[in-house]
């Protein structure tokens, strides 16, 4: 794909007025820039056809047959380029160069007719073959499926260039130039097809980049809670309270997930099952009472299992952070910290056995659930008991000498 972008860039640079005139003046042949432009166009579409055959082979269970097909097409494009170069260089081109009207202005030259016939024949075979292949393709991944879908659409649009050019060239070769403007119109189909193929190659990457930026924003509240709110040293860059959402986005997202998981792991000793039990009880109460369910914005069937687990996790984490911050604020000693920590906390936070590939989805669900009404209600119910527990822990130490006296 990189070669395709580079080749396309070279073609457009040569096709620009400055590039076209410069190459013509340097070589002494005003029409010479037409050759690299047409060859570059054919190679661009040929490489996209080969990419399509690699990503969606016509015979997926027969790799040898698929390789032979790719070799055959590659050989056909190589021979076509060789014929085009020989025919163009043998042609006697006259008159001032007008890139958009080359097909019709020079159609009376036999060499140009051979050049255009080979070019349009290969472009027709390549575009229609790729369009047909993409309609039957079953891609293994979403980015490849996106690229193939746009390749097919773009190839069909590009075929419009052939439809406009062929009658205009035939008419011009017989001395009739009434259809010259139709041939020029074909260039618009070529440009539209090029834009579509570029989006096919880059659109999947852009879509993934936008999704990753959106996920970074979605995970930010959870990251603030369990990383910034617990221990800045867990962050790769403790001095920064926000994450870069423009450069190295994928690395930032992966780093964010790792830091969140480290923060959750560090909170296990402060976690209790009490918020989970209260939230589940509230959820059951919502299912039995329409008025309560409406107050908590739940559907008649309640929360799906994944959302309920995310809400339970969110409640446990928020409660664990409160307990941890209470210890930090009061500057408790080691013994007091052990009193506040939950001996059963290691098993209190759900999701410990989540597969690595599913962590991103799970953590996004937890982040969305942090301010859910059920989570807020569960924390309101559990906070008084937690404060009483902490107060009791603080009072234990000074009571002992009092009883001694």
* Confidence label for 177 from pLDDT (cuts 50, 70 and 90): confident
Angle at 144 between CA 215 and CA 36, to 5 degrees: 120
Higher pLDDT, 263 or 391: 263
Of 7-21, 330-344, 358-372, 387-401, which gets the smallest average pLDDT?
A: 387-401
Q: What is the pLDDT of residue 113?
A: 93
Q: What percent of the chain has pLDDT over 70?
A: 83
Q: What is the pLDDT of residue 365?
A: 94
SS3 state of residue 23? helix
Q: What is the pLDDT of residue 361?
A: 93
Q: What is the pLDDT of residue 346?
A: 47
Rg of the chain (C-alpha set): 34
Q: What is the pLDDT of residue 247?
A: 73
Mean pLDDT of 216-245: 73
Mean pLDDT of 246-269: 87
pTM: 0.62
What is the torsion angle, in degrees rounded to the nearest 10, for the CA atoms of residue 211, residue 213, residue 215 and residue 218? -140
Mean pLDDT of 214-238: 80
Higher pLDDT, 109 or 331: 109
386 pLDDT above the threshold of 80: no
Answer yes or no: are the C-beta atoms of 14 and 40 closer than 8 Å: yes
Q: What is the pLDDT of residue 317?
A: 92
Instruction: Kindly provide the b/e burial profile for residues 210-224, where b requires at least 16 CB atoms within 10 angstroms of the residue's own CB.
Output: eebbebbeebbebbe
DSSP string of 76-108?
HHHHHHHHHHHHHHHS---SS--GGGHHHHTTT
Answer yes or no: are the C-beta atoms of 109 and 91 closer than 8 Å: yes
Mean pLDDT of 327-349: 53
pLDDT in tens, 34-73: 899 999 999 988 888 888 888 877 777 778 888 898 999 9
pLDDT in tens, 123-171: 999 999 889 888 877 766 677 777 788 888 889 999 999 999 999 999 9
221 pLDDT above the threshold of 50: yes
Of 75-79, 296-300, 378-382, which gets the smallest average pLDDT?
A: 296-300
384 pLDDT above the threshold of 80: no
The Cα 102–Cα 121 span in angstroms is 17
236 pLDDT above the threshold of 70: no
Average pLDDT, the chain: 81
Q: What is the pLDDT of residue 257?
A: 92
345 pLDDT above the threshold of 60: no
For residue 170, count other CB atoms closer than 10 A to its CB.
Answer: 14
Q: What is the pLDDT of residue 241?
A: 47
Mean pLDDT of 18-26: 84
280 pLDDT above the threshold of 60: yes
* Confidence label for 114 from pLDDT (cuts 50, 70 and 90): very high
Among all chains, which residue has been given the structure tokens 């009061």? 330
Q: What is the pLDDT of residue 232?
A: 62
pLDDT in tens, 327-337: 766 654 544 44
């Amino acid at each position: 794909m990189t070669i395709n972008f580079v080749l396309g860039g070279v073609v457009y640079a040569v096709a620009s007025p400055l590039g076209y005139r410069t190459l013509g003046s340097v070589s002494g042949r005003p029409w010479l820039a037409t050759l690299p432009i047409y060859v570059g166009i054919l190679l661009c579409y040929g490489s996209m056809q080969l990419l399509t055959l690699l990503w969606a082979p016509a015979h997926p269970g027969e790799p040898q047959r698929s390789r032979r097909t790719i070799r055959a097409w590659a050989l056909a494009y190589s021979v076509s380029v060789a014929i085009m170069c020989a025919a163009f260089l043998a042609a006697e081109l006259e008159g001032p160069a007008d890139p958009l009207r080359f097909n019709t202005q020079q159609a009376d030259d036999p060499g140009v007719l051979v050049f255009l016939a080979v070019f349009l024949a290969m472009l027709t075979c390549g575009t229609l073959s790729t369009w047909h292949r993409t309609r039957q393709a079953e891609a293994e991944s979403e980015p490849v499926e996106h690229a193939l879908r746009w390749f097919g659409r773009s190839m069909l649009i590009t075929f419009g260039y052939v439809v406009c050019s062929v009658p205009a060239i035939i008419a011009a070769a017989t001395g009739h130039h009434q259809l010259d403007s139709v041939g020029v119109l074909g260039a618009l189909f070529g440009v539209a097809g090029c834009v579509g193929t570029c989006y096919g190659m880059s659109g999947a990457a852009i879509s993934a980049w936008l999704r990753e930026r959106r996920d970074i924003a979605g995970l930010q509240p959870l990251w603030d809670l369990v990383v910034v709110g617990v221990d800045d040293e867990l962050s790769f860059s403790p001095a920064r309270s926000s994450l870069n959402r423009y450069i190295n986005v994928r690395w930032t997202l992966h780093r964010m997930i790792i830091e969140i998981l480290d923060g959750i792991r560090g909170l296990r000793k402060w976690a209790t099952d009490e918020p989970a039990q209260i939230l589940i009880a509230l959820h059951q109460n919502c299912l039995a009472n329409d008025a309560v369910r409406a107050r908590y914005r739940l559907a008649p069937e309640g929360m799906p299992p994944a959302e309920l687990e995310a809400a339970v996790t969110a409640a446990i984490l928020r409660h664990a952070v409160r307990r941890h911050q209470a210890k930090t604020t009061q500057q408790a000693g080691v013994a007091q910290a052990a009193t506040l920590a939950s001996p059963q906390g290691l098993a209190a936070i759900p999701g410990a056995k989540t597969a690595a590939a599913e962590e991103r989805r799970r953590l996004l669900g937890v982040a969305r659930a942090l301010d859910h009404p059920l989570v807020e209600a569960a924390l309101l119910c559990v906070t008084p008991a937690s404060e009483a527990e902490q107060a009791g822990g603080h009072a234990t130490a000074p009571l002992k000498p009092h009883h001694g006296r």
